[in-house]
Amino acid sequence: MTPQPLPDSLAAPYRLVRDPRLQRVLRVQSALGQAIRAYLNGEGFLELLPPIIGPVSDPGIRGAKQATIDYYGREYKVMSSAILYKQMMAASLGKVYFFSPNVRLEPLETASTGRHLVEFVQVDVEEAGASCDDAMARAEALLAHVSEYARDVLADDLERFSRSLNGGAPPFRRLAYDEALRILADHGRPIPYGIEIPWEDEEFLSSLYEEPFFVRDYPRAARGFYDREDADRPGILRDFDLLYPEGYGEAVSGGEREHEYSRVIARLRETGEDPSAYGWYLDMLREGIGPSAGFGIGIERLTRYVCGLKAVWEARPYPKVAGIYSP
């Protein structure tokens, strides 16, 4: 998909929300949220209130910067991802999820990609004792459930959007990271091994498929300190992305969590992070915590995919796009 021009209405969302098309998008989005909750609640997950600010947040946000506030004389982060907190809560309650608001100060060049927002909501899911394969099975089951719900319950809305939604049926195709790189190289898009797949190449890879699919087993250097390294394959993480088809790109990102104190300390230092900033989290790991796995799925990107929208900012009533001043 080619970058889309930004509309003047971004500066005046009170006009944008009067558009019957956006009103329909938001009703669909609300229904998708209900479908997600119905699936997770039915599987024994407990919805919790998400954190909004904290001393640390997820540093693995693909080139974006974190937003900070003064918290009574100390610097706190606005959540860019609640991943550390859901790991904590899964250790306590077993199966948990948040509808979590996130803020990421994306680079200016993302403004016209159609797939980046500075402010967005993702559903953060975590399950104690789960493996990477368990999390993948959970993610594909959730997406399949939501897709089936959209086709059945929201059929009239999909027809209004001229959308024929092919959500696929589990199990979805699973590509290893190095296999994805070979496919891209075969299409004239070589990528150095060991880095995150760039957005434009991920989008192209997504366009090659008509059903959702996974890319798994990213190299250690490509991801954050909290993704667990495979004990039998040094340098390879037990993690994954689930991609929408048709060029819509990333749907879900997740994996197993590193939970051993010494390994997290080593990874933090390896990635240039200051361990002293992660006080409460490291204290928790030092005292001992069990394994878990989970993922996050962005609500606006899901809405974009279901409705066939050209840009993700079409899935928010008051979108924040990098560098665009708006209410």
Per-residue pLDDT tens, the chain, 327 aa: give them.
555 666 776 778 788 889 999 999 999 999 999 999 999 999 999 999 999 999 999 887 778 899 999 999 999 999 999 999 999 999 999 999 999 999 999 999 998 889 899 999 999 999 999 999 999 999 999 999 999 999 999 999 999 999 988 777 899 999 999 999 999 999 999 999 999 999 999 999 999 999 999 999 999 999 989 999 999 999 999 999 999 999 999 999 999 999 999 999 999 999 888 899 899 999 999 999 999 999 999 999 999 999 999 999 999 998 999 998 887
The answer to whether residue 321 sits within a structural domain is: no
Instruction: Give the domain extent around 73.
Output: 8-315
**Predicted local confidence at residue 63, as pLDDT:** 80
The answer to whether residue 224 sits within a structural domain is: yes
**Predicted local confidence at residue 3, as pLDDT:** 56
The answer to whether residue 323 sits within a structural domain is: no
User: How many structural domains comprise the chain?
Assistant: 1
User: Residue 20 burial by CB count (10 A; 0-12/13-18/19+): exposed, middle or buried?
Assistant: exposed
**Is 0.85 topped by the overall pTM?**
yes
**Predicted local confidence at residue 4, as pLDDT:** 60
Q: Which of 104, 63, 62, 64 is nearest to 82 (CA)?
A: 104
Q: Which amino acid is at 89?
A: M
The answer to whether residue 326 sits within a structural domain is: no
The answer to whether residue 322 sits within a structural domain is: no
Q: Is the dihedral of CA 243, 57, 300, 94 positive or negative?
A: positive
**Predicted local confidence at residue 167, as pLDDT:** 73
Whether 219 and 194 have beta carbons less than 8 Å apart is answered as yes
Report the C-alpha gap between 76 and 78 in whole angstroms. Answer: 7
**Predicted local confidence at residue 101, as pLDDT:** 97
In the Cβ-directed half-sphere of 70, how many Cα atoms lie within 13 Å? 2
Burial 161-194 (b: 16+ CB within 10 A, else e): bebebebbeeebebbebeebbeebeeeeeeeeee
Report the C-alpha gap between 283 and 165 in whole angstroms. Answer: 46
The answer to whether residue 3 sits within a structural domain is: no
**Predicted local confidence at residue 309, as pLDDT:** 96
**What CATH number does residue 225 fall under?**
3.30.930.10
The answer to whether residue 106 sits within a structural domain is: yes
The answer to whether residue 286 sits within a structural domain is: yes
